[in-house]
Amino acid sequence: MRKLEELPFHNTYARLPEDFYSRLAPTPFSKPAYLVSFNADAAALIDLDPNEAARPEFVEYFSGSRPLPGSEPVAMLYSGHQFGHYVPRLGDGRAILLGEVRNRAGERWDLHLKGAGQTPYSRDGDGRAVLRSTIREYLCSEAMHGLGIPTTRGLCIVGSEEEVLREEGVETGAMLVRMAPTHVRFGSFEVFYYRRQYDHLAKLADYVIAEQFPHLAGAGDRHPRLLLEVVVRTAHLMAKWQAVGFAHGVMNTDNMSIVGVTLDYGPFGFLDDYNPGFICNHSDHGGRYAFHRQPDIGHWNLHALAQALLPLMTEEQAKEALAAYEPALVAHYKDLMRQKLGLMEWRSEDGDLLTGLLEIMQAGHVDYPSAFRALGDCRSDPSDANESLRALFLDRAAFDAWATRYRGRLRAEGSRDVERKQRMNRVNPKYVLRNYLVQLAITQATEKKDFTEVGRLLDLLRDPFAERPDMERYAAPPPDWGKRIVVSCSS
């Protein structure tokens, strides 16, 4: 285990041409900083000794008041399509890539400090992040990891008394240390395409290949093959979001990771009651990023990426790569839903079985995570009444009819109740980061400077599949006040 000063930095991104970023140091808070939360799981990814979090230097390093030895801080340049419109100059407006650490297993991790002050890409922004939004991102990224969904990770949150003005009023500033295999986004490519800097485009593609897709290095067709891999990874990510009921909220191309991990958590939301048209972003008036549109938007975003990569490949090659999207998405989604239903194999009639369930869930506003978890208790015996599962559905007759079909389907493959339930409990989470849960943690943190709830959720969501009798209440659907939480982009 390493001390902070022993982290082995490599900083390959800072070796790229100067056009790719701006070198600058983070701006420390104007008021004293303190540790809000530390995540030992993420620290382990960079071989960092968890005891290091107790040193006063830890907060100094991760709030920008002391440079980490060996790091080369830069703000990364990118552009992107926001709500369908191209915005030529974005970049890290409030985040700084401190550097890259390679762990003993050879994996590389970017250390990214979000809320680190203004950069040349800040436009009118203050370069800060507020405690509320850093808690949301930190907890959600760890919750997603616990669910087995590729994501950036959260190493720690550092808070301060510095005042930050947002739509909601005066808030306190905070910084989040985020880790990712790379922070290169679709928008990192788009910026060089629209600037016609095609040499840079090729350099970036080769950089991403060398760092993240080394098996493609040197191949003559490495660029179309890179696109194909991004297409497939993105398709798989979308399938995972849909299966678990996660809505990202701001799927702009600058928030799309080139390695297919969930990136930039803003006004995200997990489905409580099953509503495919769910819009979690208060500012998304047209519902562009509504839950059920995510698979299409993923495709739209890949199209924007493919367009940007055209100088590196033929149109034919780009089209061929994009054509892999739908089959990859559908196959993965089916596979995930098959597992959620506890089936061993996907049969032609199972699409109808699934749709039938989702329809009665939608009509009856049935809680999505609770219903799938409870489905594990369904027995294949036709006389099984299962009142607790049945009670979740408003339209009991519709549910009974569906359950009869389902039990028949289970018997048709000789499914064994006990073993199936175990399998289902490993894919249907007991706990998800519902908006009301994160809201309670935020209120406690911002009003009382009490971070116990943040720590409790972090601990609970590391393994959202385990039964935790002492934490049973965290599995509950939201109380009435918790159903109406609106989250804006302001963060």
Q: List active site positions.
A: 254
Q: How far is the CB of 149 from Mg ion (least distance, A)?
A: 18
Per-residue CA distances from 332 to 262, 340, 352, 409 (Å) = 17, 12, 17, 21
For 186: left if phi > 0, alpha if psi spans -120 to 50, otherwise beta; the answer is: alpha
d(CA 295, CA 54): 43
Site string for Mg ion, 236-265 (x = CB under 5 A): -------------------x--------x-
Position 50 contacts ligand AMP (CB under 6 A): no
Binding to ligand AMP in span 200-259, by CB under 6 A: 250, 255
Q: How far is the CB of 154 from ligand AMP (least distance, A)?
A: 15
Closest to ligand AMP by CB, 398 vs 489, is: 489
Considering only CA atoms, which of 140, 80, 79 is closest in space to residue 280? 140
The one-letter amino acid code at 222 reads R
Q: Kindly report the backbone phi and psi dihedral angles of residue 345, in degrees, each rounded to the nearest multiple of 5, phi listed first.
A: -140, 160
Position 464 contacts ligand AMP (CB under 6 A): no
DSSP code string of 198-241: HHHHHHHHHHHHHHH-GGGTT-TTHHHHHHHHHHHHHHHHHHHH
List Cβ neighbours of 97 (8 Å cut-off, separation of 6 or more): 13, 21, 73, 74, 75, 76, 110, 111, 112, 183
Position 187 contacts ligand AMP (CB under 6 A): no
Per-residue CA distances from 21 to 68, 126, 165 (Å) = 19, 19, 27
Binding to ligand AMP in span 117-146, by CB under 6 A: 121-122, 125-128
Q: How far is the CB of 430 from Mg ion (least distance, A)?
A: 31
Closest to ligand AMP by CB, 39 vs 79, is: 79
d(CA 94, CA 91): 9
Q: How far is the CB of 38 from ligand AMP (least distance, A)?
A: 23
The beta strands (E) that lie in 239-390 are given as 246-247, 269-270
Q: How far is the CB of 133 from Mg ion (least distance, A)?
A: 12
Question: Which of ligand AMP, Mg ion, none is residue 178 near (CB under 5 to 8 Å by kind)?
Answer: none
Position 93 contacts ligand AMP (CB under 6 A): yes
Q: Which helix (H) or strand (E) holds 354?
A: helix 350-363
Options 92-100, 148-156, 172-180, 435-443: segment touching ligand AMP (CB under 6 A): 92-100
Site string for ligand AMP, 262-301 (x = CB under 6 A): --x-x-----------------------------------
Closest to ligand AMP by CB, 82 vs 197, is: 82
Question: Which of Mg ion, ligand AMP, none is residue 453 near (CB under 5 to 8 Å by kind)?
Answer: none
Position 92 contacts Mg ion (CB under 5 A): no
Q: How far is the CB of 254 from Mg ion (least distance, A)?
A: 5
Options 46-54, 84-92, 207-215, 237-245: segment touching ligand AMP (CB under 6 A): 84-92
Question: Which of ligand AMP, Mg ion, none is residue 93 near (CB under 5 to 8 Å by kind)?
Answer: ligand AMP
Closest to ligand AMP by CB, 93 vs 482, is: 93
d(CA 211, CA 226): 12
Q: Which residue has the tokens 């175990």?
A: 422
Q: Kindly report the backbone phi and psi dihedral angles of residue 349, in degrees, each rounded to the nearest multiple of 5, phi listed first.
A: -80, -5
Position 76 contacts ligand AMP (CB under 6 A): no
d(CA 434, CA 483): 10
User: Which residues lie near Mg ion (CB under 5 A)?
Assistant: 255, 264
User: Which residues lie near ligand AMP (CB under 6 A)?
Assistant: 90-94, 121-122, 125-128, 250, 255, 264, 266, 489
